[in-house]
Amino acid sequence: MMTNSKNNTKPKIVVCLGSSCFARGNDEIICVIEEYLLKNNYCDEVDLEISGSLCQECCADGPNVLVNGTIYNHADPCVLPDILKNLLPERNNIQNHNNNSQEQ
């Protein structure tokens, strides 16, 4: 299991589903996150919290996503995979690379 080396906790992603963030696109953000976690087999290793209670007076900067304590304002579904790759390296690519190396 992947854990934070400082306190042995799972990486945590919190997606605000307050009405403002939802209207600004966090419903699409959730799909991007879930797809990434599933594709890279991280579903059991990440604490994904979908919450309508994150709203902390930053609605105008939404949609807001909190990744391991860092808030990402104006979260963009096109940029989010890069943020996730920094937190959780892609596994399928590593496996595919190894498979390709063995085939040569």
| Chain residues that interact with ligand FES, rule: CB under 6 A | 16, 18-21, 54-56, 58-59, 62, 64
Could you tell me the sign of the dihedral formed by the alpha carbons of 63, 64, 65, 71, in that order?
Answer: positive
Q: Name the CA radius of gyration of the chain, rounded.
A: 15
Residue 71 or 90: the one with the smaller Cβ distance to ligand FES is 71
Residue 29 or 88: the one with the smaller Cβ distance to ligand FES is 29
Chain centroid to CA 1 = 16
Residue 37 or 65: the one with the smaller Cβ distance to ligand FES is 65
**Least spacing, CB of residue 10 vs ligand FES, in Å:** 23
Question: Which residue sits closest to ligand FES, CB atoms considered?
Answer: 18
**Least spacing, CB of residue 87 vs ligand FES, in Å:** 21
Residue 51 or 95: the one with the smaller Cβ distance to ligand FES is 51
b/e sequence 66-78, b meaning 16+ C-beta within 10 Å: bbeeeebeebebe
User: Tokens at residue 65, please?
Assistant: 């996503």
